[in-house]
Amino acid sequence: MRRSIAMAMLLAGLGVAACKKGDEAKQDPPASKETASGPTGKDGAKPASDSSSPAGVSAGGIQRDDKEGPAAIVTSAKGTVEVRRVGETTFSAAKDDSKLYPGDQLRTGDASTATVALADESVIEVAEVSTVAIASRESTADPASGAAVLAGLARFTVTPRAPGEGAFRVYTTAGVVVTRGTVYGVGVAASGEVRVGVESGMVDVFGLSAFDADPVVIEGGSSATFEANGTVGGATMWPADDWGVWRDERDAKLELSAAVTAHSEAMAEIEKSLVNAYADLDAVADSVATFEATASVAADKGDTATYTASLPEGAASIDASFNLGMRLEALTWAYSSRAALATEIYVRHPDVVTSWDVVLPRVDAAVLWPKRYEVTANAYLEPLRLQYYVHHPRGRGHAHLVGVKVPEFYASVEAPEIEPAQVRGRVKTKIWLHPEVRYTASTRPVWVSAPSVNWRANAKLTPAPFRANVGWYVRPPTLKAKVLVGSNVRGKYDSRLKVSAPEPRANFRASWKVPVGMKVKIGAPDFDAGAKARASWKVGAGAGGNVNAPDVRGGAKAKVGAKVDVRVPEVRVNVPDVKAKVDVKIKAQQEAAAEARARAEANAKAAADVKVKIKAPEVKIKAPEVKVKGEAKGGFKIGN
C-alpha cells in the first residue's frame, strides 16, 4: 500500500507542462511581465535545473478554476505594489481588487503601501519596502486564513474566530505567530530578526529553534523578539507604535555581505529540514491511506469492531498530517523569507554583495518550495480535511459547524480522545500541536475548501483604528541606515529556472499517488446549516480544540451536533469536622450541584448524531465559615 509522496510531487510538477494558459490569463495581474527591480547572476552562468531541486517540482504558475475564489484581495495599492504568483519567477504590477491565492507574494516599493483582505475578513496593512505572502487555508485541520511576513513590516487585524475555524497564523523568518482575534504588528529586519508587537488581544509565538516547546504568550501593550536563529525572547512593554524607528535601528547595525551569506547558509539548513519533514509526511500519508481503506471496507461490511480498533491510530495519523503540514509551511516561508531578504539587499547593493552566484540557486529554490507546498495542500491536506471531520474527535465536534454530515456507520462508533504523545510519536520532525481556539458566535463563512468566488461582496473589511493619531508605521525623518528603506534599486534578479506553462490546480490531486478521500465518501457541506450552527454557538473550545461542557449553572444548551458523553462533574466539599449547624447550607449546595448535573446530562442526551466526549468542569463548593472551639479536621466527598 505504501506510495511515495515525493514521486507524486515530481509527477505533479512535470507532468502537465503543455497545459493551456486560459484561466491564468484571466487573473490580474498577469505573472509574465517582468519588473525592473531584482538582481541578476553573471553572464554565462549555468542555469539551475528544476528537477535537481529537492522540491521536486518545476517553476510555473497554477491555473485557477473559475469556481475557485481567491484567498485574499488587494483592497488598496498605493505607489509601487507588485505580485508574484506561486511558482512564477517574476513580479508584475498589482492594483486595487487584484486577487491573491495561496503561495502568492505581494511586495511594496519605497514610499508605497498596500492593504490586503483575507477570506476570513482579517486585514493586512503592508508598509513600504515589505513583502508578504498568502498562506494556505488547507494547512490546518480546521480551515483558517494565514499569511507570512517575508521582509519588512505588516499590521494584522484578525477577526475573532468563528466556531469551527482554526487559529490565524503568521509565518516569519524565525517562527510563527498564532492568533485568535487580535491586532498586532510583525516586523522582519534585514538581518532576519523578527519582532511582534501586540496592540490588543493576545498572541502565542513559536520559535523555529524549539518548535515543539510551549509558546511564549504576548499580551496587548507588549512586544517580543525572535532572534534570527529562531529563539524567542520574553515579552516587554510596548507603549507606542515605533515600527519605523525599530526597523531603522536594526538595519543600521547590519554588515551587508555577511548578512547575505548568513541567509544563504540558513536556507541550506532549512532545506534539509524540509526534506526530512516531507519524508515524515510520506510515511504518515501511507498510514492514513491504509486506515481509510480499512474504514471503507469495515463500513461496507458493517464491521464496527474493525473500525473501532483502527480508529485511534487513524485519528492520530490525521492529526499528525496536519501538524506536519503547519511545520512544512513554517519552514517553507522561513526559507522564502531568507531568500527575499537576501534579494532585497542584493538589488540595492550589488557592488557590496560578492557572493550572489552562490546565493542565487537557493533564491531560485524559494520559487519552488512554495509550489511544492501548494501541491501538498491541494492534493493531500484538502481531501484529508473531510476525513478529519469523520474520524477525529475534535473534527466530529466541529463537523456540524461547517455543514458536514458524518455518515451513519462512522458516527455510530465513538471517536477516542487523542493524546499529544500519540501524535508526536508518529513523526520524527518537531511539530507544534493545535493551539487553543476560543470562538465567538458568528454567521461569518468558514470555507471548508476554496472560498466562494464572490466572498468579498458581503465581507466586513476594516482594519482596527491606530493606537495614536499618526499611522502605525512612520518612516523616521532622518535615517540611520539605507539598507532597504531609502535606497535605490540598482540590481536585477534574473532567475535561472526554466518556467513551464501554468498547470491546472485540479491536476495536482489527480496525479497524487496516495488516494486519500477517495474511499470514504462524504456529501457536500451544507453552508446554510453550518451558518445556523455557528450563529447559535454557546459552547467554548478548550485546549486542542476539544469541546468543553458549559458552566453547569446554564446547562448544556448548545447543540454540538453529537451524541454527547458527559462526564458528571465531581463536586468536592471540604468542611470542618465539627458539630456545627452547617448541614442545612451544605445540603442546599449539594442539591444545587446535583440539579445542575442532571440538567447537563439531560440536555447533552438531546444533542444530534455524532459521539464526542465532553469534559464538564470540576465544581468545587466551599463550605460556609464556622467559628468553633477546638481543632477542625477531616472532610468528605460528594459525587461519583
* Range picked from 11-20, 27-36, 414-423, 501-510 for highest mean pLDDT: 414-423
Predicted confidence band of residue 409 (pLDDT cuts 50, 70, 90): very high
User: Does residue 217 have a pLDDT over 50?
Assistant: yes
Predicted confidence band of residue 420 (pLDDT cuts 50, 70, 90): confident
From CA 182, how far away is CA 156, in angstroms rounded?
A: 8
From CA 588, how far away is CA 77, in angstroms rounded?
A: 65
Higher pLDDT pick, 142 / 522: 142
- Identify which of 64, 63, 59, 65 has the alpha carbon closest to the alpha carbon of residue 13: 59
Q: How many residues does the chain have?
A: 640
Can you say whether the dihedral through the CA atoms of 8, 11, 12, 14 is positive or negative?
positive
Higher pLDDT pick, 91 / 11: 91
Q: Tell me what percent of the residues of the chain surpass a pLDDT of 70.
A: 74
- 357 near 43, Cβ under 8 Å? no
What local confidence, expressed as pLDDT, does residue 512 receive? 64
What local confidence, expressed as pLDDT, does residue 423 receive? 87
From CA 117, how far away is CA 592, in angstroms rounded?
A: 49
What local confidence, expressed as pLDDT, does residue 40 receive? 33
From CA 543, how far away is CA 374, in angstroms rounded?
A: 28
User: Does residue 548 have a pLDDT over 60?
Assistant: no
From CA 116, how far away is CA 133, in angstroms rounded?
A: 10
Mean pLDDT, range 519-526, rounded to an integer: 82
Higher pLDDT pick, 607 / 115: 115
Predicted confidence band of residue 437 (pLDDT cuts 50, 70, 90): confident
Cell numbers given for 124: 493586512
What local confidence, expressed as pLDDT, does residue 211 receive? 80
User: Does residue 169 have a pLDDT over 60?
Assistant: yes
From CA 52, how far away is CA 476, in angstroms rounded?
A: 45
Q: What is the pLDDT of residues 116-140, one digit of tens each?
A: 999 999 999 999 999 999 999 998 9
- Sorted by where each begins, the domain ranges of the chain are 5-438+463-474+494-510, 548-638
HSE, CB side, 13 Å, CA atoms: give it for residue 268.
10
Q: Tell me what percent of the residues of the chain surpass a pLDDT of 90.
A: 62
What local confidence, expressed as pLDDT, does residue 449 receive? 84
From CA 611, how far away is CA 84, in angstroms rounded?
A: 45
User: Does residue 213 have a pLDDT over 60?
Assistant: yes
**Cα 243 to Cα 83, 127, 510, distances in angstroms:** 24, 10, 46
Mean pLDDT, range 512-540, rounded to an integer: 81
What local confidence, expressed as pLDDT, does residue 429 receive? 83
User: Does residue 511 have a pLDDT over 50?
Assistant: yes
Q: Among 42-51, 212-221, 357-366, 419-428, name the one with the lowest average pLDDT.
A: 42-51
Q: What is the pLDDT of residues 245-289, one digit of tens each?
A: 999 999 999 999 999 999 999 999 999 999 999 999 999 999 999
User: Does residue 545 have a pLDDT over 60?
Assistant: no
Task: Give, as one character, the DSSP assignment of residue 86.
Answer: T
HSE, CB side, 13 Å, CA atoms: give it for residue 23.
15
Q: Please tell me the pTM assigned to this model.
A: 0.79
Question: What is Dmax (Cα atoms) for the chain?
Answer: 98
Predicted confidence band of residue 581 (pLDDT cuts 50, 70, 90): very low
Q: Among 10-19, 141-150, 318-327, name the one with the lowest average pLDDT.
A: 10-19
Q: Taking the CA atoms of the chain, what radius of gyration do you get in angstroms? A: 27
Q: What is the pLDDT of residues 592-629, one digit of tens each?
A: 445 544 444 444 443 444 444 434 344 343 444 433 33
Which run of H or E residues covers position 187?
strand 183-188
Mean pLDDT computed over every residue of the chain? 80
Predicted confidence band of residue 514 (pLDDT cuts 50, 70, 90): low
What local confidence, expressed as pLDDT, does residue 36 receive? 30
From CA 444, how far away is CA 181, in angstroms rounded?
A: 14
**Cα 16 to Cα 56, 63, 119, 366, 510, distances in angstroms:** 14, 11, 29, 21, 11
